[in-house]
Chain A
Amino acid sequence: MEVWEEQKAIGHLLREANNPLFRQVVESCAAALLLVDKRGCVMMANREMRRLFGYDADELTGESVDRLVPEGLRPRHEGYVRGFFAAPANRAMGAGRDLYGLRKDGRLFPVEIGLSVIDSPGEKLVLASIIDLTERKRTRQEMANIVERARQAAAIAELGVWDWDLSTNRVRWDQRMGELYGLPAKEEDVDYSVWANSVSREELPQQEAILKETIAKRGRSEREFRIRRYSDGAERIIQANEMVVCDDTGKAVRLVGVNRDVTEQRQAQAVKDAFLHMLEEKNAELERFIYTVSHDLKSPLITIKSFATLASKDADAGEFEKMRSDLVRVEKAAERMHTLLDELLKLSRLGRMVNPPELVSLTSISEEARELVAGRIMERDVTVNISADMPLVNVDRPRMVEVMQNLLDNAVKFMGKAASPRIDVGMVEVEGRRRYFVRDNGIGVEPQYREKIFGLFEKLSLATEGTGVGLALVKRIIELHNGKIWVESNWPNGGTTFWFTLGVGNGVIGANVKSEAFP
């Protein structure tokens, strides 16, 4: 310590204590200096010393050094003085204890005191140099407060804090980091690999690339990555922010950063996104619905109004034949409007009306549906073969009957001129997933219409009966059962297969119907 060196030099000079030049040197020294004899009497206190303790010139000379010692310590201090002179040596006073000086005005202030022995002619003296620690202590306390505040902030934000030494590749991390990575919750030095090994294998290269770039640019970065927690192997999502610390030469020496577990937030976000997506889809569907409905209901309305007017015109002109055909058009359009409204009602009920899921075999569902279309089947002499051993499914039974009824009806409708019309209903397992099918040897579906046929009011041919709601209805019901439906067709040779799946869990018995699928 510089002060020590200075003090030794001064002590040396003080052997010439009565030398006026040396007295002057001591007096003007920037350090607070005090010369005491072995009885504890102040022989000399320099200007800085007096300023520090609030005394005027010469007020201290000849006084007991006890005046500068806090009252409670005085009895012990005497002993210290004696002890010091018994074994005089240059040393710091009160090692390990906080020392205080007593000012003239009674205030205490923290000090550091160095002692050195002076061999002056005749007797040993002690030179004390005193440093005021008030400022240093205050700064230290402030630093401690800042550190504590940072620690608390990190704790409140649930941030793990780490400090990576780039030269040693060691990472100092705090208790929270330990917790985040499923390691002992304590502040410790870990190797960089402890972090790297926990990061998901697919994401690590990209993560390390980001860190490398951050270091190269001496900048900061924000990342998000998946880790496997050491304690339980759970996958967690970590959000990280870090910043490079450079030395005086501008070389990157450390990377300091924070980690936060955002797994729950991300999961909640995913649920929210999925929900939003579903809402958007529903909204789009509703829009399409309104569009088609308004179009398809307006059409017959135009017909009705126009031909009613035309009929009365024809009546005025005495053209009763024409008038009669006008009225037939009016009637048919009104009828069509009626059917449309009925079908729409059916479709809209789908969203709301739910029957509790029943455990029932698709075979019996198909048979029930066959009964419902028996008339048409007989009319066109179609052979319907339903596989006898289809598995049990947990479904809204009446709705599934509707599905099969529509698919059978559709197959019969597009049977065309097949020589031996035939419909097969069955199931196959593909990659452990059950796929149900309704297959016919009818006219087939052209590739470009295979999506379109599931749309509302889509009819490919004017000649066919129906409103174009059937397959849209089927699709909705299958979707309500978390399934998918699609069509394959051997165009132009004929033959169509409608495939569908049920439920998410491989179409397994039990969990086919998710309750949330029904609003």
Chain B
Amino acid sequence: MLQGTLDLMVLQTVAAIGPMHGYAIAARLEQVSGGALRLNMGTLYPGLMRLEQRGWLRAAWGATETNRKARFYTITRAGRRQLAAEKADWERMTAIMHALIHGEA
């Protein structure tokens, strides 16, 4: 999976739902994709660390509903800006691809 694509998916998920821990993010993405997207820890957590390093996510230790210690990730203001930019890029690319594949017949 491309780094940029993973970033977009994680940011969108966290922005839409609110503070989540790593497992929840992976579970949510698996659910939304109908089982097609199964993120490995080795892909997910380095990705989360990278997003944190870039200042697009903020993380803090907290408790889950079952009172277990987990690290929750929240999107930052810079993260929202990045998300908006990535979404715009994605939409543009999709439109171009669509036009290429289907259009101008």
Do A and B associate with each other?
no
Query: A residues near B, CB below 8 A?
Result: none
Query: B residues near A, CB below 8 A?
Result: none
